[in-house]
Amino acid sequence: MLQWKALTVDCHQWQARNPELISTNPDVLLELGKEELQKVKNDLEMVLLTVRSKNKQLEEDLKREEQWYEEQKQLLNTLNKMEEEANTQVEQPSTKRESDEVKKKLLKLKAYKKELLNALGNFLDEHFPHPEESENTKNKNSSAEAAVGLITLKEILEILINKLMTTPHEPYITINESFWPPYIELLLRYGIALRHPEDPNRMRLQAFHA
């Protein structure tokens, strides 16, 4: 990162420099031009290497985070199934003792589920914060965009999860202006969410795997 900043400063200084007439000899000017172009070429190659290295690191981080998220999602699905089974056993207990045991297990399960959701929420808040205003908000549509108010990736996932849980037969939600496009593309690219086959403005959470 420091190397990137240093190269950026050098580039700005080079661009702001006033040209000085060193010689009128064509051969001298040609040689100086070659040296200057070579320096620029070397600087650009360093910038390119830095950008590629940074992009590679970001891709590796994203893959690790995606794997972690998938593991937590599958665990959450297992907990949901266990909770449903426990609720069924509570409704039809064979003895009072068994009913009390099931209720205790259910309370522990709900507490663990809450802890898991909190951990997932903290993970999303840390790695996918509230989208910052882009430089494009300075155009003529900035007032309209600012009035909408973008939401976080965590909030988008909560909407998708709640929709899937409350109406599993109709899990699609409508993508509105409060959904930040890069977060939508992230969910779609890594298979966390799916677009409606007939309506690209709607999407759903990918079905949990058992």
Main-chain dihedrals φ then ψ at residue 177, nearest 5 degrees: -70, -15
At 177 the pLDDT is: 92
pTM of the model: 0.45
Residue corresponding to tokens 């891709």? 59
140 confidence band (pLDDT: 50, 70, 90): very low
DSSP classification of residue 168:
T
Across the chain, mean pLDDT equals 74
Residue corresponding to tokens 């959470």? 205
Give 23's contacts (C-beta < 8 A, 6+ positions apart): 29, 32
The domain spans of the chain are: 149-210
Out of 40-49, 102-111, 128-137, 167-176, the most confident range is 167-176
What is the three-class DSSP state of 203? strand
1 confidence band (pLDDT: 50, 70, 90): low
Contact of 56 with 64, CB cutoff 8 Å: no
At 100 the pLDDT is: 74
- Dump pLDDT digits (tens) for 48-107: 787 777 777 777 877 777 777 777 777 777 777 777 776 666 555 556 676 677 777 777
In the predicted structure, residue 124 carries a pLDDT above the cut 50 = yes
At 144 the pLDDT is: 47
Residue corresponding to tokens 């990162």? 1
At 96 the pLDDT is: 67
Q: How far is CA 106 from the centre of its chain?
A: 33
196 confidence band (pLDDT: 50, 70, 90): very high
At 90 the pLDDT is: 57
At 145 the pLDDT is: 47
In the predicted structure, residue 108 carries a pLDDT above the cut 80 = no
- Of residues 153 and 16, the one with the higher pLDDT is 153
